[in-house]
Structure 1
Amino acid sequence: MAHLPHLVTDLGLILGAAGIMTLLFKKLKQPLVLGYIIAGILVGPHIALFPSIIEIENINIWAEIGVIFLLFSLGLEFSFKKLVKVGGASSIMALVEVVVMLLLGYLAGKLMGWSTMDSIFLGGILSISSTTIIIRAFDELGVKSQRFAGLVFGVLIVEDLVAILLMVLLSTLAVSQQFAGSEMLAAVLKLAFFLIVWFLAGIFLIPTFLKRASKLMNDETLLIVSIALCLLMVILAAQVGFSPALGAFIMGSILAETTKAEKIEHLITSVKDLFGAIFFVSVGILIDPAMIVTYAGPIAIITVVTLVGKFLSIAGGGLIAGQGLKTSIQSGMSVSQIGEFSFIIATLGLTLNVTSDFLYPVAVAVSAITTFTTPYMIRFSEPLYRSVEAVLPARWIASLNEYSSGAQTINTTSDWKLVLRSYAINLVVYSVIIIAIVLLSAQYLNPFISETFMNGNMGDLVTTAITLVSMAPFLWALAVHHPQEEAQGRIWANRNYRSLIIVLEFARIVIAILYIGFLLHQFFSVQVAILVGLVIIALMGVFSKRIQSFYIKIENRFMSNLNERERSEARKLHHTLTPWNVHLTSFEVPATSVVVGRTLVELQIREKFGVNVAVIERGERTLMAPTRHERVLPNDKVYIFGTDEQIASFKEFIEAEATRTSDDELEKEEIKLQGLMVSSDSVLLHKTIRQSGVREKTKGLIVGIEKNGQRILNPDSELVFEEGDLLWIVGSPWRIKQLEATKGKEHV
């Protein structure tokens, strides 16, 4: 009989047990992750009822591959653009939760007498919620369309990124065995540096490669190429000193910006499911049931800390972010569990030999308990809100509602904000690129040229020349390029600010010169570096137009690759909806457009221009087939269906600015949601919204009315104001107060 390797036997046991548990847990309608963990416990070395795994070391290798594919798949769903679109509220809630749970986990560990490292890792384990479990629970309970669900999804996206950062920080802490602020800061800066380099290089190179090779790729080839790219980034991350999982996550997030993202995600699903199952079974294999019994007390304590701490931190973060009591409580009740990343962080502690053996099974036990409680907590979130609302004093409820309304402030973007933000982004991005080019040149290019072609000063000169040519476009962009030229021109028109603009421009040039010196100092003495630097600056001035042209090509390629996925989706939509001589196109509504604040029925777009409004995109919301009463708001993306002539006519209309009535309106105003009470002597009393002239007097929009204890959102223009009505107006605060001050003057 031929000898069968233990690896094959062990893999057969793992997948056999996982398959049986999958069927059982599907029948019980429970999360499959728990089934995999229980399967691992049954085939692990601690239970003799079933055949046991022989070589656990080999299984650990399979498990590490499972982590890589889990993180790669998560990166494909992540997308850096999703992070950019995550609202400030979700970010605040996620950061509050992570900080609170890190602190609570550490304190709980110390109070139970655990070591400092065990307590720190416990805080990391408790700080990240389970994306898989929450999404499954939302699907089963049918709450994905509710407002709090969108906030929770944003929280999960931020948490995933924080988890990656935590893995880097915990690894650094485990190696140094002490909390050194300088080392932690260095680790964070190193992570940020490589994230920017990998993302910029990846977006510039990989979409272009996939596009040009698309004719040669079938499903099999695309699967192999995507896995190869993933593993190459894993190798690169390991070489730089980061975890392999980080490299997989980064490559997934880069591929998420390409037109092949959905296809790759579909192809990789089976591979991810296979190795993911092996990973979660391996989690169970490492659990000693006797240890869970021994540590039943700490498990119960940590479970309570998780459930209560996550609820209070997320709910508190929601209140701080102005999301209202109901939404905050629902969000807090939804994320009270730990999951995949918690296992990965626990595995990291074991791999680095810095945590005790009991921490891993304790974390898994807490995850299992909180997974079972998740659906019930989501289901009871609304009853809990009603109970809390009934207990809280009316004054507190009113204060919370007022704070929540005040938090919905829309601030107009000033020219200074645009210019300073563009300067900051330019400085960070181009500095990272230039430093990366210099370091690559010093570490790899110079040794290669010296060993292969020429050494000594001649080799240094050739290296410097090649590096400068590579740096030149980015040096020009750092020192000269104006991404917000119009805004800067408007600031320059004000003589009071010209000196500040000159200082900013001078600072950019000085920083560019310092980077040239940084390069030259790698190969030459200070005196030679200064002399050569002056010559280089002069040459860059001579060839400025060519350098500019080359940079513009690089920028256009990058932006084309970055936005190719959206353009591809728009083209698909275009081809789907254009059977006649018409097509679908989109316009972003300028803040000064005449259409802002008006309903579709008021605008009469179909009657005047012959086009149809098919879709309105508003932030993360997509309004399909908007009703005639839908109002158009600033920065809405409106999709229009019509002929070229009709669309051109509509384009002129939507881009026309609203007529200004006074010089004061030339200045940008603060816009807030503000309440106005209709009193017995109010100028608004017994008038309809249309008759009241609120729009003209406040340059604002009535978005809601509280009438007789009822809240009316987007009220009809024929609604009549009565005494005691509370109007909610989005507009200029001083204009609204001015209207309020006219009480009795116009009332008859």
Structure 2
Amino acid sequence: MTSHTSVLDLAIVLCVAAVISVVMRLLKQSSVVGYLLAGLVVGPYIPIPLFAEPRRVESLAEFGVLLVMFAIGLEFRVRKFVQVIPTSGLTAVLQMSFLFWCGLSVGLFLDWSTTEAVFLGAAVCISSTMVVSKLFDQRKVAPPVRKFVFGVLVIQDLAAVVLIAVVTGIASGQGLAAEQLAATLGRLTLVLVGLVVGGMLFIPRLVRLSVRLASPEILVVVVTGLCFGIAVLAEGLGYSVALGAFVAGVLVAESGEEKAVEPLVRPLRDVFAAIFFVSIGMTVDPVAAAAVLPQSLLLVGIVILAQFASVSLAGVVSGNGLSRSLAAGLSLGQIGEFSFIIGGIGISAGIVRSEFRSMLVTAAIVTAFTTPLLFARAERLGRWVGSRLPARASHLLGVYERWFEAWRRGSGSEAARSPIRRAVRVILVDSVLLVGIAMAAVITRNEAWTLVAEVFPGANDIAIWALAGAWALLAAPVVVSLLRNTDSLAGLVSRSVVTSVEAEVRPATPLLQGTYRVLVWLGVLLTVGGPVSAILRPVVGVAPAVVILAGPIVAVALSLLRGRGDIETGFRSQAERVANLLAKQVGSASQGGGATPRPIPGFDLVFGVAISPESHVVGKTLIELNLRALTGATVVAIRRSNHNVLLPTGREALQAGDVLGIAGTEEAIRKANELITSG
């Protein structure tokens, strides 16, 4: 009878999930939403004659957790992780720090305990790889956007594994005290190193042997057995089975046969992942969820808006371009599988309140609904923002983006690249040290306060300042080193960005270097300030944490406003020089051909395109053409037939006889030329 009941439960869960997920797919929504709604239908709280036993479904759902984590580990390679850091590293760090900060603040605002607030911050700082993957499978996504977004997700996945291990330690009763947390992190490091080093001795060889047998049946049994076996081993060592499954995936991937394994595991993962999400939906009481609906909607707003703001800003600062960064910000605005795993650990241990899960499920359903709706408007938003961005700012960002693209491709001399790499390495060391000091200040605050209070009995104010001064004194050498090296990096990058290969444009470059220095400063300060602010938030309160996080942004805005006149002068000087080059190209450009490409700072080519009287662009503005969004090229100067030189604002109506100075990569210029000359 028990067997029959288990089969019946599985049949009800899968059939209801299948029907609702098909409906969701027809509505162009994520199947994850369908699974969560199916859980509400078959759960114990809605009086529908389709009921599955929650405990049995929860047992089956644990398989889903293991297989999802195994699949994530299967896609994780150390080489791949290193490759995505230049593109997505800053964005992932700032996004996770800012979302953790926001989640923590929401928890404290709701009068939750610090531990509960930490769990909430950890739950909302990781996006859903499953939702984003299914979204990108259903839509045509530009390769640069796909690469950028999945780079962020790879870094998030690794951070999530660490978070799961840490919250598991907290849930086991070790708490947030200094000794316990330090012991948890130290033990976690030893366990991970032991599992990986020990597993590398035989698991990759075993997988390669299984592949050589040319039997898919044997291969899927071997890798699934490894997944469950290492998960049980991790549980025996005091960590979650999810951590063990992830490590198993990483070890199987190191065999180099992940492309053979992944198609075999995917159907199994999809089935049990569906059961996992259904089981989450079954735990939600709609009445209880309605009672915390305002808090849930607050969480939804935080997830969508904070994700969008942090990813868009960090993406632009790290040279990913405006349109790409906006699209990434809209695609990552949801929570999912890791949020439920982290929340489930806290709920099972009884250290977070029961409505925690209701809030997460409501937020997950709403954000899974909104993600495809918002992402569908990413291109339109990019065009809208681009059309309203001043031409000088658009040009500046274009130069900055091109330089980063060239840097990532390995362009440039080794003599120029080596000092930049060296400065980045030193800054990374300083950043890790500063974050470590911040963590030490937080986790030892109770013990340190006890010691200082004994020295200054009855003088709390003096004790507080003495403790703060001691930590500031300890951090001062690291901060000084960080600032000095950041200034050095800013100088190196700004000179590299605006270095000209032609003497005639070189006089304009000093006016622009300051702007790029500011952008580099912003990137470094946000990368360091984000984690430090998130770590110190429970101790120092809202105001100091906001200053740490928002201070760099305000400083950069003021610096750019103060230097706006010099930037304008620099661009106008550069536009005049480009126009002088265009004057020599008018003859050949007017015949529809291109003159000899002319390099300018940060761009591969500058190209003159003459507008004939018959051209379809006559009378249109650059905003109406939307040239940059459609082609990636930027109009940096316009030379009129009366020899006037225009620095484009985007609102000038183009005239017959105009010669446009278009800058960008060779591919971007080709597309722009086609758009202008042939429509």
Q: 2:84: which partner in 1?
A: 86
Instruction: Write out aligned runs for 1:477-492 (5 A).
Output: none
Q: Which has the larger radius of gyration?
A: 1
Structure 2 residue 326 is the aligned partner of structure 1 residue 296: no
Range moving further from structure 2, 682-691 or 401-410: 682-691
Question: CA RMSD of the aligned region, Å?
Answer: 3.9
Cα separation, 2, equivalents of 1:213 and 1:305: 47
Cα separation, 2, equivalents of 1:62 and 1:26: 24
Q: 2:10: which partner in 1?
A: 11
Q: Give per-residue Cα distances to partners, 1:298-342, cap 9 Å, x unaligned.
A: 111111111111100101111221223222212111111111221
- Cα gap change, 1:16/1:139 in structure 2, threshold over 3 Å: closer, same or farther? closer
| Amino acid aligned to 1:686 | K
Contact 1:679/1:685 (8 A) holds in 2? no
Instruction: Write out aligned runs for 1:64-79 (5 A).
Output: 64-79=62-77
Q: 2:158: which partner in 1?
A: 161
Structure possessing the higher relative contact order (Cα contacts under 8 Å, 6 or more residues apart): 2
Shift of 1:127: 0.9
1:703 to 599, 605, 630: 605
- Cα gap change, 1:28/1:91 in structure 2, threshold over 3 Å: closer, same or farther? same
Structure 2 residue 368 is the aligned partner of structure 1 residue 383: no
Q: 1:138: which partner in 2?
A: 136
| Amino acid aligned to 1:290 | V
Secondary structure of 1:46's counterpart equals coil
| Amino acid aligned to 1:18 | A
Instruction: Write out aligned runs for 1:325-344 (5 A).
Output: 325-344=322-341
Cα separation, 2, equivalents of 1:245 and 1:134: 20
1:229 to 226, 229, 238: 226
Query: Would you tell me which structure has more helix in proportion to its own residues?
Result: 2
Cα separation, 1, equivalents of 2:127 and 2:578: 52
Contact 2:597/2:607 (8 A) holds in 1? no
Contact 2:169/2:175 (8 A) holds in 1? no
- Cα gap change, 1:365/1:214 in structure 2, threshold over 3 Å: closer, same or farther? closer
Cα separation, 2, equivalents of 1:213 and 1:35: 36
Percent identity over the alignment is 28
- Cα gap change, 1:66/1:706 in structure 2, threshold over 3 Å: closer, same or farther? farther
Cα separation, 1, equivalents of 2:44 and 2:632: 62
- Cα gap change, 1:231/1:140 in structure 2, threshold over 3 Å: closer, same or farther? closer
Q: 2:312: which partner in 1?
A: 315
Q: Give per-residue Cα distances to partners, 1:362-399, cap 9 Å, x unaligned.
A: 11111111111111111222332333345555554455
Secondary structure of 1:258's counterpart equals coil
Structure 2 residue 51 is the aligned partner of structure 1 residue 52: yes
Cα separation, 2, equivalents of 1:49 and 1:691: 73
- Cα gap change, 1:123/1:142 in structure 2, threshold over 3 Å: closer, same or farther? same
- Cα gap change, 1:702/1:43 in structure 2, threshold over 3 Å: closer, same or farther? closer
Q: 2:674: which partner in 1?
A: none
Contact 2:174/2:181 (8 A) holds in 1? no
Cα separation, 1, equivalents of 2:606 and 2:229: 55
1:100 to 92, 98, 101: 98
Cα separation, 1, equivalents of 2:197 and 2:170: 29
Q: 1:38: which partner in 2?
A: 37
Cα separation, 1, equivalents of 2:26 and 2:305: 31
Structure 2 residue 364 is the aligned partner of structure 1 residue 367: yes
Cα separation, 2, equivalents of 1:273 and 1:39: 15
Q: How high is the TM-score relative to the length of structure 1?
A: 0.56
Contact 1:694/1:701 (8 A) holds in 2? no
Contact 2:595/2:607 (8 A) holds in 1? no
- Cα gap change, 1:327/1:691 in structure 2, threshold over 3 Å: closer, same or farther? closer
Shift of 1:361: 1.5
| Amino acid aligned to 2:334 | Q
Shift of 1:72: 1.0
2:255 to 235, 258, 268: 258
Contact 1:322/1:404 (8 A) holds in 2? yes
Q: 1:736: which partner in 2?
A: none
Instruction: Write out aligned runs for 1:123-522 (5 A).
Output: 123-143=121-141, 145-176=142-173, 178-180=175-177, 183-214=180-211, 216=213, 218-394=215-391, 396-405=393-402, 407-408=404-405, 410=407, 413=414
Structure 1 unaligned runs (5+)? 425-596, 598-674, 731-748
Shift of 1:353: 1.8
Cα separation, 2, equivalents of 1:337 and 1:178: 28
- Cα gap change, 1:680/1:57 in structure 2, threshold over 3 Å: closer, same or farther? closer
- Cα gap change, 1:325/1:235 in structure 2, threshold over 3 Å: closer, same or farther? same
Cα separation, 2, equivalents of 1:354 and 1:334: 32
Contact 1:129/1:335 (8 A) holds in 2? yes
Q: 2:545: which partner in 1?
A: none
Count of aligned residue pairs for this structure pair: 471
Cα separation, 2, equivalents of 1:7 and 1:336: 36
Secondary structure of 2:605's counterpart equals strand
Cα separation, 2, equivalents of 1:29 and 1:390: 29
Structure 2 unaligned runs (5+)? 427-500, 502-572, 611-621, 646-659, 666-679
Q: Give per-residue Cα distances to partners, 1:399-454, cap 9 Å, x unaligned.
A: 54454455456365579889999x99xxxxxxxxxxxxxxxxxxxxxxxxxxxxxx
- Cα gap change, 1:73/1:679 in structure 2, threshold over 3 Å: closer, same or farther? closer
Q: 2:584: which partner in 1?
A: 686
Cα separation, 1, equivalents of 2:421 and 2:299: 48
| Amino acid aligned to 1:279 | F
